[in-house]
Amino acid sequence: MERKVVGIIGLGLLGGSVAKALKRFTEYEVIGYARRGEVCSAALACGAVSEAYGDAKLVAQKSDILVLALPPDTNADIFEQLAPHLKPHTLVTDVASTKGRMVKRIYQYLPNHSTFVSIHPMAGSERGGFEMASDSLFTDATWIVLEDKGNPAYSEDDAKLLVQMGEAVGSMVERVSLHEHDHLVATISHVPHVTATLIASLAGESNKPELAYKLAAGGFRDVTRIAGGNPSMWKEILRGNATEIDQLLLELTQRIQNVRELLTSDDDGQELEKYLQKAHDYRNEYLQVKESERRLL
């Protein structure tokens, strides 16, 4: 059965970029839902979608592939309403950055005739909204297709279709188990986000915030950049993955305690330098992985 119509629920930065990228790089017909009329108009005007609706049910009824592109909890909430209106054999997917709590709810609402395979395009920006959406947001980004092989709602054929979609829009595709995913994204996305907000707060709640900002150089700028992200969206992301994040934040406080000991140890800083050298090497290994990804393209 060939799937022709992709319906995108939510035309923000990610949903809008999926629409634009599919329009540019594939033969799919793309339709979309946005709550605000001006977003529908903008998406229609630039050709990102061929049809746009302010009622998500109308999109669900026409879609062969349904992409949930709202924040995780909102995806689950809206899918509860849409599930009874799906066409038979719909492939449901989502582009949220945390899965645990949301996926449990989606499985619960999913009709037996349809399948669900989750994806996570690792791309974004601290500035959201359709006006920031781009058909090249996924170029060179990692596009994760999540496996959940034991689950009856999971389909290996549909996972392959989503792998092809990721490749078509210029991403590097990785396949990861749903189980591993949330711990990994907590490590490389959610906990870094928390530390960015902590560093911004330390400066903002210091005795002289304005002077602190003036003295701040590139290090502060980069470490805090993602603290500028949308608070309401990040609230959902972080709470949707609270178990994994909590565990890593506990580990982080233990690691901070270790650094505090190294700062004042009477070994003339030898162990502190070893610690800094290791962090330096991890950062270089990360750069090498990214560099070899670029060479593969």
Distance CA 131, CA 267 (A): 55
Among 232, 294, 296, 297, binds a second copy (CB under 8 A): 232
Rounded to whole angstroms, how far apart are CA atoms 9 and 265?
55
Q: Which of 35, 36, 127, 260 binds a second copy (CB under 8 A)?
A: 260
Q: In whole angstroms, what is the distance from residue 267 CA to residue 276 CA?
A: 15
Q: Which is nearer to a second copy, 168 or 216 (CB)?
A: 216
- Write the interaction track for a second copy spanning residues 111-140; mark x where CB under 8 A is met and - where it is not: -----------xxxx---------------
| Terminal Cα-to-Cα distance of the chain (whole angstroms) | 31
One of 1, 150, 157, 217 touching a second copy (CB under 8 A): 217
The distance of closest approach from Cβ of residue 24 to a second copy in the complex, given in angstroms and rounded to an integer, is 21
Cβ at position 211, least distance to a second copy in Å: 6
Stretch that binds a second copy, among 21-29, 52-60, 86-94, 230-238 (CB under 8 A): 230-238
Give dist(CA 137, CA 80) in Å, integer: 29
User: Out of 22, 172, 178, 182, which residue is the one contacting a second copy (CB under 8 A)?
Assistant: 172
Residue at token pair 């989606």: 106
Q: Does the protein bind a second copy through residue 252 (CB under 8 A)?
A: yes
* Contact positions with a second copy (CB under 8 A) in 13-42: none
Min separation Cβ 27 and a second copy, Å: 28
What gap in Å lies between CA 51 and CA 59, rounded to an integer? 9
| Number of other residues whose CB lies within 10 A of the CB of residue 236 | 21
Segment 182 to 211, residues that bind a second copy, using CB under 8 A: 183-185, 187-189, 191-206, 208-211
Tell how strand 119-122 and strand 142-147 pair up: antiparallel
Stretch that binds a second copy, among 14-22, 58-66, 161-169, 255-263 (CB under 8 A): 255-263
| H helix count then E strand count, the chain | 13, 9
Tokens for 144, please give them: 């994760």
* Total residues in contact with a second copy, by rule CB under 8 A: 98
Q: Which stretch binds a second copy (CB under 8 A): 13-21, 24-32, 156-164, 214-222?
A: 214-222
| Rg of the chain on CA atoms, in Å | 21
CB of 12 to a second copy, least distance (A): 17
Single-letter amino acid code for the residue at 124: G
**Which residue(s) pair with 91 in the sheet?**
65, 115
Question: Is residue 66 close enough to count as binding a second copy by CB under 8 A?
Answer: no
Query: Could you tell me which residues come within 8 angstroms of residue 107 by beta carbon, excluding any fewer than 6 positions away?
Result: 116, 151, 153
Residue 286 found at the interface with a second copy (CB under 8 A): yes
